[in-house]
């Protein structure tokens, strides 16, 4: 019972983290049709900036979090402007932007190494202490992530469906010409989507920084996970991405329990391939 609870809780924590990691990637993909390989590096930048502001500058974690999210969002807008915008409308835009965002990732990782060095850093946790849940003990920080993630995702959903700006984001993702003909500023919407996606990456990075060590390669594994989640969900709506995140989080937690840490990534990718064979549009994608 205790083991089952511990596994379920750990699955929920992973699912919440994956949902946060993937939501920004999914937002950029559905709006711009760009698969942002710099998404993980933006998480890392968010974590480092938050660390600098909260630790050496001593302004506290909450100020650090705002700074980290802001820095990542700003960098996202810059990446969109310099490395994505020049290639809109090209027939091979998807491949070009894979290369340019990959370049952005490498630049940011090397820059982080120069600026912050190779020594491991850790962000303070949002709250200290442990929480016990039906015999399963986990940190209060992780409990907070499980609570915060759905709130952020619901806020994102409300923004996308209930506000004029959010609707224009979805409209641009589905039909750029038609959106422009209604008076929507398409380039501005692109920058907004990229900035918002990057901000979400930054926030994820700050939350990750309380669990893992902050290093220049902090974002590598989360990027891969986010991609699995987005593809698994069917490259579609936010709901599908969140659903896929929790399916994968739970699957990973139980796989670690049954086949061990070593075989888990293999089994995850194997599962992804099986799902894509039978459902080429992803788990929640429509045929």
Partner 1 sequence: MTNVLNIEGIEAAYGNVTVLRGINLHVGQGESIGLFGPNGHGKTTLLRVISGLMKPTAGKVTFDGVDITAARPPVIVSKGLVQSQQGNTLFGDMGVAETLQMAAFTKPARAQAKQSLAQVYGLFPRLAERGPQKAKTLSGGERQMLSIGAALMCAPRLLLLDEPTLGLSPKLKEELAVALKEISASVPVVVVEQDVELLLSLADRLYLIEHGEVEREIGQDDAPDHQEIMEMYFGEHAG
Identify the burial level of 166 via C-beta atoms within 10 angstroms of its C-beta, where 0-12 means exposed, 13-18 middle and 19 or more buried: middle
Distances (CA, A) of 174 to 42, 155, 244, 266, 283: 26, 21, 22, 35, 21
Closer residue to partner 1 in complex, CB, 119/162 = 162
Closer residue to partner 1 in complex, CB, 179/268 = 179
Gap between the Cα atoms of 164 and 149, Å rounded: 24
Closer residue to partner 1 in complex, CB, 128/177 = 177
How many residues are given for the chain? Answer: 287
Rounded to 5 degrees, φ, ψ at 169 are: -60, -45
Closer residue to partner 1 in complex, CB, 56/89 = 89
Closer residue to partner 1 in complex, CB, 139/176 = 176
Q: How far is the CB of 234 from partner 1 (least distance, A)?
A: 12
Q: How far is the CB of 256 from partner 1 (least distance, A)?
A: 36
Q: How far is the CB of 187 from partner 1 (least distance, A)?
A: 9
Coil, strand or helix: which one is 216? coil
Q: How far is the CB of 284 from partner 1 (least distance, A)?
A: 13
The helices-and-strands tally (H runs, E runs) of the chain is: 10, 2
Question: HSE on the CB side for 147, CA within 13 Å?
Answer: 8
Q: How far is the CB of 180 from partner 1 (least distance, A)?
A: 4
Q: Which two tokens stand for residue 229?
A: 């989640």
Q: How far is the CB of 181 from partner 1 (least distance, A)?
A: 5
Closer residue to partner 1 in complex, CB, 175/217 = 175
Binding positions for partner 1, rule: CB under 8 A: 161, 164, 167-168, 170-171, 174-175, 177-185, 237
Distances (CA, A) of 260 to 164, 252, 268: 47, 10, 12
**Does the CA dihedral 171-177-178-180 come out positive or negative?**
positive
């Amino acid at each position: 019972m205790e083991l089952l609870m511990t596994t379920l809780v750990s699955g929920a924590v992973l699912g919440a983290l994956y949902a946060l990691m993937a939501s920004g990637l999914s937002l950029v993909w559905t709006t711009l049709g760009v698969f942002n390989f710099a998404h993980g590096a933006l998480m890392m930048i968010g974590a480092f900036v938050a660390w600098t502001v909260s630790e050496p500058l001593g302004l506290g974690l909450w100020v650090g979090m705002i700074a980290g999210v802001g820095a990542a969002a700003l960098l996202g807008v810059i990446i969109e402007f310099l490395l994505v915008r020049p290639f809109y409308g090209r027939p091979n835009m998807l491949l070009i932007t894979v290369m340019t965002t990959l370049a952005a990732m490498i630049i940011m990782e090397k820059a982080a190494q120069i600026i912050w060095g190779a020594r491991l850093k850790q962000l303070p946790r949002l709250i200290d202490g442990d929480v016990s849940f039906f015999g399963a003990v986990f940190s209060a920080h992780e409990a907070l992530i499980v609570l915060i993630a759905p709130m952020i995702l619901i806020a994102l959903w409300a923004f996308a469906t209930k506000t004029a700006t959010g609707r224009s984001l979805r409209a641009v993702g589905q039909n750029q010409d038609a959106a422009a003909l209604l008076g929507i500023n398409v380039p501005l919407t692109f920058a907004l989507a990229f900035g918002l996606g990057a901000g979400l990456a930054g926030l994820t990075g700050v939350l990750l920084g309380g669990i893992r060590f902050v290093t220049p390669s902090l974002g590598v594994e989360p990027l891969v996970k986010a991609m699995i989640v987005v593809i698994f969900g069917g490259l579609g709506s936010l709901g599908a991405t969140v659903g896929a995140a929790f399916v994968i989080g739970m699957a990973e937690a139980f796989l670690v329990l049954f086949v061990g840490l070593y075989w888990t990534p293999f089994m995850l990718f194997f599962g992804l391939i099986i799902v894509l064979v039978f459902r080429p549009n992803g788990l929640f994608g429509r045929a």
